[in-house]
Structure 1
Amino acid sequence: MLSSTEAALMLNYEVMGGPLADPSVWRGALLWAVALYVPLSAPLSTLESSLEESELPESVRQPVLVISSLLLSLATGVVTQLGFSWALGPGWASSLGVVAVGWSVLLILANTGKAD
């Protein structure tokens, strides 16, 4: 026989519990992934240069680079969001992610102005 808690979980179709079940954690993780994509470009450029030197065909190199860059930024975003969620709370961590995205855009625009 199911307890009332188990029956309620089955009715809500909750499969996953814990901090990753909160949608604000995933929204914040995506914000942090976007904000940290530019600083993560240094390791990705190293991967790109090693892929160019490899004997893989071009049709394989490009998907490997795209998938690895997306996974790296998403994993970094999730870890950052979970850390800030633990320290500040999920709402504040997501808000800080929005600020980080804005700051990254500002830095990119400032650097393009110096190139001229």
Structure 2
Amino acid sequence: MLSSTEAAWMVSYELMGGPLADASVWRGALLWAIALYVPLSAPLSTLESSLEESDLPESVRQPVLVISSLLLAIVTGVVTQLGFSWVLGPGWASSLGVVAVGWSVLIVLANAGKDD
């Protein structure tokens, strides 16, 4: 039997609906954020160079760069996961995210071999 606190928590959780309430969407979004981090590094390098040219102190520049890169990766991951979830379904979209992570690792390793 549930206590009144647990029952109230479950009722409040049931009020939270929509696609973002599904845990598989967040797992897939994390996978997509990891997979798309390498292609997103180009805009982040532009931001980093502009921050270096600005007159902000180093103690402010580094947190701005870290927070912006995390937000960009997570937002891109959520949008990609929601798009693929709408087309393929949440399970398939997450599985495709795993494949995309594998491809990203493969591309990074292939490019590292070319640099030698």
TM-score by length of 2: 0.90
Other structure's SS at 1:55 match: coil
Q: Does residue 52 of structure 1 match 2:52?
A: yes
What is the rounded CA distance, in whole Å, between the counterparts of 1:79 and 1:106 in structure 2? 23
For 2:12, the equivalent position in structure 1 comes to: 13
For 2:32, the equivalent position in structure 1 comes to: 32
For 2:22, the equivalent position in structure 1 comes to: 22
For 2:3, the equivalent position in structure 1 comes to: none
For 2:80, the equivalent position in structure 1 comes to: 80
Query: Any unmatched runs of 5+ in structure 1?
Result: 1-7
What is the rounded CA distance, in whole Å, between the counterparts of 2:115 and 2:11 in structure 1? 54
Q: Which amino acid aligns with 1:45?
A: S
- Report Cα offsets for 1:21-57 as digits up to 9, x if no partner: 0000000000000000000001000100000010100
TM-fit CA distance, 1:10: 5.7
TM-fit CA distance, 1:16: 1.9
For 1:3, the equivalent position in structure 2 comes to: none
TM-fit CA distance, 1:59: 0.6
CA separation of 1:10 and 1:59: change in aligned 2, threshold 3 A? closer
RMSD between aligned residues: 1.4
TM-fit CA distance, 1:9: 7.9
TM-score by length of 1: 0.90
Other structure's SS at 1:13 match: helix
Instruction: Give the % identical residues.
Output: 83
TM-fit CA distance, 1:61: 0.3
For 1:65, the equivalent position in structure 2 comes to: 65
Query: Any unmatched runs of 5+ in structure 2?
Result: 1-6
